[in-house]
């Protein structure tokens, strides 16, 4: 009720001090975030209220105006200051209530609760953190729906059939009904978030589960993109005697790349490229959730998990030289099928011999350039030669293994006293029962992936025989090498002058052992291990060879691809799958894809320049360029 205002110097102090003042004030006086009851997607405008006796109303208004000016420095918009008579007091004086009303648009609330928030009020602070993250999701969905609606109209004007519009644009938040409605609605009218979007209360219940009033929310990483930064960075250590841990990033799905060579030249197959593309597409089942042609029982699946490529050899899907030219000979020791859940096995039961979706592919290539003639000769590569690349992993089984152990490690993380900023960073010491179980399950996923790529090789050999049998002298495919990435392995390396057993996690990386290493196939040991670096479906790929320098610098590791510069969602916004297919085919690359949206995700412009990537790798000395391959046909899920 007193006469006070905001000091003028408050508007000139550092921003962080202004934020502390506002957050402390708001913790006591600003209304708490609250969603409308009707649908739960929108929020009431935040209100900062003060009560003043008659005679002090002007100072109260000046105080709120000062707060509004401070808020404007954070980009937070206020709408008005209202004044109303509140009550007549016992002494005859009159009290007035002044209210500073803030804009309730999503962007404004994100700035308010994301940048300023509340201090000294745990309930409000935790609630504001959840609302800010919820509204970020809402803004993304609104943007997705707006862009999809505009794209639908543009495609319709261009004469694209409705069925193709639906195929290209339909998604979780852009149903066919929404797309149809977009064709007739007022284009200037703002879209709503849609019925598929969760209410705030439902989101909050899931996003803050187990976190109490910490102010944290569970969230998934949407993309990882490089930024230009030249400043301090910080690392963390693990408070455990063994100074190591296993986290979700260790087990992904043991993706890998396999390179098959041939005895064919480009001129031998040029008349048959489209027919080969069709046969490869039929022989390599692709797409999310796709089932393969093998019908396995539980005992057979367990054998795959334990034996990997050796199972494929005993069943007639692999040759001895295939196994010899596979990393670890296609079988990780220590795999224990009992550590893989029934749900993971169920998902993997029907997917052996399938490609999957995302960035997985099968590709018909031609070797266009040789940089190291001696090493290329050892690998069986020559200029003008036809080759095939396969990139895939352990499919739904590997994904489920990761999901299962994220959940299992929740309790382990608490037991070992780890405080986590993200629930997917759950962890446990490597030598703990949980850590050992995880490694055993991961090794099963690796073996499954090797068996999967080996069965795909068998099916690709059949496709070549179907198209080229009787038309060319020798249509056989031989395995140059199969190497995994996104994998953690126990290996021996020299550290500080002595050999040590290490857990080497190659996330976004692949093995690149140098010459003389006993784990390199005997016929390659004089030159080193083949290193496979695919580009994108419209650019070149490279075969490199590991070096002794890689053993010294990177524990025998190298990049496993060009790497993305654009997230999948950004690529889909920037590129139309059908247009991309037409452009690639004009460039002489046959495309077979089950999803135009999936094709757009993997557009060449979404990736770094592979030429520069391998040049940097060679300049660093961790691998040496051997051969360049260019695509003739690409199979995508």
Which residues are catalytic, by number? 560
| Angle CA 140–146–148, to nearest 5 | 100
Please, which residues have CB within 8 angstroms of residue 560's CB and are 6 or more apart in sequence?
257, 485, 486, 506, 508, 509, 510, 532, 533
Q: Helix (H, G, I), strand (E, B), or coil: what is residue 533?
A: strand
- What is each CA distance from 350 to 199, 346, 353, 455, in whole angstroms? 37, 8, 9, 13
Phi, psi of 232 (to 5 degrees): -75, 145
**Beta strand 427-428 with 47-53: parallel, antiparallel or unpaired?**
unpaired
Under DSSP, is residue 149 helix (H, G, I), strand (E, B) or coil? Answer: helix
The C-alpha torsion from 537 through 540 and 545 to 546, rounded to 10°, is -60
For residue 262, list its beta bridge partners. 477
DSSP assigned state of 63: H
> Which residue has 């196939």 as its token pair?
521
- Nearest-angstrom CA–CA distance, 474 and 570: 44
- Residue 560 main-chain phi, psi, to 5 deg: -110, 5
Distance CA 573, CA 139 (A): 15
Sign of the dihedral through C-alpha 493, 235, 446, 509: negative
How far is 627 from 541, CA to CA, in rounded Å?
Answer: 9
C-beta neighbour count of 524 within 10 angstroms:
22
369 contacts 627 by C-beta, under 8 angstroms: yes
Query: Which is nearest to 304 in space by CA: 479, 445, 442?
Result: 445
**Helix (H) or strand (E) run with residue 301 in it:** helix 298-307
Between the alpha carbon of residue 370 and those of residues 264, 367, 379, the distances in Å are 16, 8, 12
Find all residues with CB under 8 Å of 629, minimum gap 6, and list them.
365, 366, 367, 368, 387, 389, 540, 541, 542, 543
Residue 327 near residue 443, CB atoms below 8 Å: no
Euclidean distance between the first and final Cα of the chain, in Å?
A: 68
Neighbours of 564 (CB within 10 A): 20
The helix (H) or strand (E) run that includes residue 585 is helix 577-586
3-state secondary structure at position 604? helix
Q: Token pair of 553, please? A: 């610098």
């Amino acid at each position: 009720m007193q006469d006070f205002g905001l000091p003028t110097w408050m508007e000139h102090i550092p921003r962080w001090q202004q934020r502390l003042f506002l957050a402390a004030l708001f913790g006591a006086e600003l209304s708490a975030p609250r969603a409308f009851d009707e649908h739960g997607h929108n929020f009431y405008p935040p209100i900062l209220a003060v009560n003043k006796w008659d005679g002090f109303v002007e100072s109260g208004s000046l105080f709120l105006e000062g707060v509004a000016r401070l808020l404007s420095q954070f980009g937070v918009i206020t709408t008005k200051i209202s004044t109303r008579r509140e009550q007549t007091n016992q002494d005859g004086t009159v009290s007035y209530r002044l209210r500073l009303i803030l804009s309730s648009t999503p962007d404004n609330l994100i700035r308010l609760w994301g940048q300023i928030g509340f201090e000294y009020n745990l309930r409000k602070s935790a609630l504001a953190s959840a609302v800010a993250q919820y509204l970020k999701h809402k803004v993304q969905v609104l943007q997705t729906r707006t862009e999809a609606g505009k794209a639908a109209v543009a495609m319709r004007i261009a004469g694209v059939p409705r069925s193709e519009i639906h195929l290209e644009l339909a998604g979780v938040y852009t149903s066919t009904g929404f797309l149809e409605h977009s064709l007739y609605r007022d284009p200037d009218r703002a879209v709503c978030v849609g019925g598929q979007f969760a209410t705030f209360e439902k989101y909050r219940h899931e996003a803050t589960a187990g976190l109490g009033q910490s102010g944290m929310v569970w969230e998934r990483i949407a993309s990882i993109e490089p930024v230009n930064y030249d400043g301090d960075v910080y690392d963390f250590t693990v408070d455990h005697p063994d100074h190591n841990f296993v986290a979700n990033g260790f087990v992904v799905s043991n993706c890998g790349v396999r390179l098959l060579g041939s005895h064919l030249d480009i001129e031998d197959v040029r008349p048959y490229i489209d027919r080969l593309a069709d046969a490869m597409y039929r022989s390599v089942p692709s797409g999310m959730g796709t089932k393969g042609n093998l019908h396995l029982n539980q005992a057979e699946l367990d054998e795959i998990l334990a034996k990997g490529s050796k199972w494929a050899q005993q069943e007639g899907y692999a040759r001895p030289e295939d196994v010899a030219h596979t990393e670890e000979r296609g079988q990780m020791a220590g795999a224990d099928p009992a550590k893989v859940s029934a749900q993971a096995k169920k998902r993997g039961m029907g997917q052996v011999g399938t490609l999957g979706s995302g960035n997985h592919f099968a590709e018909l290539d031609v070797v266009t350039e040789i940089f190291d003639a001696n090493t290329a000769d050892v690998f069986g590569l020559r200029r003008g030669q036809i080759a095939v690349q396969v990139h895939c992993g352990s499919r739904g089984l590997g994904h489920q293994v990761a999901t299962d152990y994220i959940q299992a490690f929740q309790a382990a993380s608490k037991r070992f006293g780890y405080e986590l900023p993200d629930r997917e960073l759950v962890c446990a010491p490597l030598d703990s029962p949980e850590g050992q179980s995880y490694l055993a399950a991961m090794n099963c996923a690796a073996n499954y992936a090797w068996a999967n790529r080996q069965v795909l090789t068998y099916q690709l050999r059949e496709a070549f025989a179907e198209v080229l049998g009787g038309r060319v002298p020798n249509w056989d495919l031989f395995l140059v090498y199969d190497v995994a990435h996104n994998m953690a392995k126990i290996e021996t390396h020299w550290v500080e002058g002595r050999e040590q057993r290490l857990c080497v996690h190659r996330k976004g990386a692949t093995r690149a052992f140098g010459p003389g290493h006993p784990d390199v196939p005997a016929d390659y040991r004089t030159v080193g291990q083949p290193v496979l670096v695919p580009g994108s479906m419209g650019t070149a790929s490279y075969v490199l060879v590991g070096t002794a320098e890689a053993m010294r610098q990177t524990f025998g590791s190298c990049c496993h691809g060009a790497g993305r510069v654009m997230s999948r969602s950004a690529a889909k916004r920037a590129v139309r799958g059908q247009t991309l297919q037409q452009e690639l085919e004009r460039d002489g690359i046959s495309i077979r894809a089950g999803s135009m949206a999936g094709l757009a995700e993997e557009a060449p412009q979404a990736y770094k320049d592979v030429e520069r990537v391998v040049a940097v790798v060679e300049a660093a000395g961790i691998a040496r360029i051997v051969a360049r391959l260019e695509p003739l046909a690409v199979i995508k899920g």
